A and B are shown apart, each in its own frame.
Chain A
Amino acid sequence: MRPILLQGHERSLTQIKYNRDGDLLFSCSKDHVINVWYTHNGERLGTYDGHNGTVWTVDVDSESRFMISGAADNELRLWNVATGKCLYTWEFPTAVKRVAFSEDDKQVVCITEQRMGYQCAIRVFNINRAGDGNKQSKEPAHMFNPVGSKATVCAFTAQPGVIFTGHESGKVALFNLKTGEEVHSNERAHGDVVTDLQMSEDRTYCITSSKDKSARIHDTKTLDVIKTFTTETPLNSAALSPNKPYVLLGGGQEAMSVTTTSLRQGKFETRFWHKVFEEEVGRVKGHFGPINTIAVHPKGLSYASGGEDGFVRVHNFDDSYFKSQPYGDLQIED
């Protein structure tokens, strides 16, 4: 499995995302730009220029028509994927930390940071998909401030009008978008900041990662913790692997406390865990610093990792990976 190195960012990666078809990979970074790459050869297809601060988050719709991004310049931007043009910009009093499209591409949810007297806020915007996409409403369709610990990650669930959130305290919760009411919560889902959240294809379960060194699979309706994966390093990202019973975990110590020991101890490796047996099955080396973000191809054909070192590495799985059944012939539902 020879990785393709995507060189184009000048600073650390914050989030990477495959499109629905898996032919494109979007990456955003502290260098203020968003790049899009062909996943089969690592060629850069384009750059989305305009943000004036760290781009914290991106998401792309299911048609690969619109892309949404959030940044430290307090802006949420809607882009035309094909032309690279910015179609619309929303401005807030604080940074945008997380964005996500709904399953039907008609809505976007975003989290803005708690800072300078402003509370953490969750807003949902209706996306007008007619015409060029440059006629959007300035005001959110819904907005609320989560009570207690601020939200760090969010996504739409399989239930209409309900979003899943992960919080600074380690809490996970479900919110009713229309009322802003916290419908359900698990205060002790994690012991520290929730750093990533990725949904299963049907959005009935999700995986979260945390600085508490663990990742967990949650039922998005009951908030039951289904599985726990405990590592020895703070985790920045966790991803589900479609068509294979694995989860991929990545992390490492903060940049300040990074030492050569961390590299030697394999703290910057992507870890593969069996999602049902909760056992580690393998590790992939490569990055020279913490792994900030991991994404898996929607059909499970490859995976990519983005690091504090500024590189994105795309790994196309080879035949042996698909043929191997290290645990025998067990049918495991996705």
Chain B
Amino acid sequence: DDQRESENVNTELIALRRRLVDEWNAWRARSKAEVSDDKGRDLAKEKQSEEDKEEIE
């Protein structure tokens, strides 16, 4: 019984760690994507303002 219990605890711990890693990786992927989105938008804005300037000239 003790052995079965410790095996259960182990399996649970492994499952917990797996879940924590998955959550962490998902959050990292999300924030990395947001940053590149933000940077892309900034670049687009810069490009837009450059084009505007050219038109003025």
Contact = CB atoms under 8 A, between A and B. Distances in A.
B15 interface: no
A330 B31 CA distance: 20
A221 interface: yes
B35 to A, nearest CB: 5
A332 B24 CA distance: 8
A219 B30 CA distance: 11
A277 B38 contact: no
Contacts, number: 38
The size class of the interface chain A forms with chain B is 10 to 19
B31 A204 contact: yes
B32 interface: yes
A333 interface: yes
B20 to A, nearest CB: 5
Contact of B35 (A158, A327, A330): A158
B12 interface: no
A132 interface: no
A299 to B, nearest CB: 18
Contacts of A219: 27, 31
A202 interface: yes
Interface in B9-46: 17-18, 20-21, 24-25, 27-29, 31-32, 34-35, 38, 42
Interface residues of B, number: 15
Interface string A53-72: 00000000000000000000
A17 B32 CA distance: 25
B21 A330 contact: yes
A205 B17 contact: no
A276 B35 contact: no
A150 to B, nearest CB: 29
A107 B30 CA distance: 28
Contacts of A205: 31
Contact of B25 (A159, A277, A327, A332): A332
A226 interface: yes
B13 to A, nearest CB: 10
Interface in A257-315: 276-277
A327 B17 contact: yes
Given A204-B32, A205-B31, A159 B24 contact: no
Given A202-B32, A327-B17, 14 more contacts: A158-B35, A160-B42, A204-B31, A205-B31, A219-B27, A221-B34, A226-B24, A276-B17, A276-B20, A277-B17, A330-B17, A331-B21, A333-B24, A333-B25
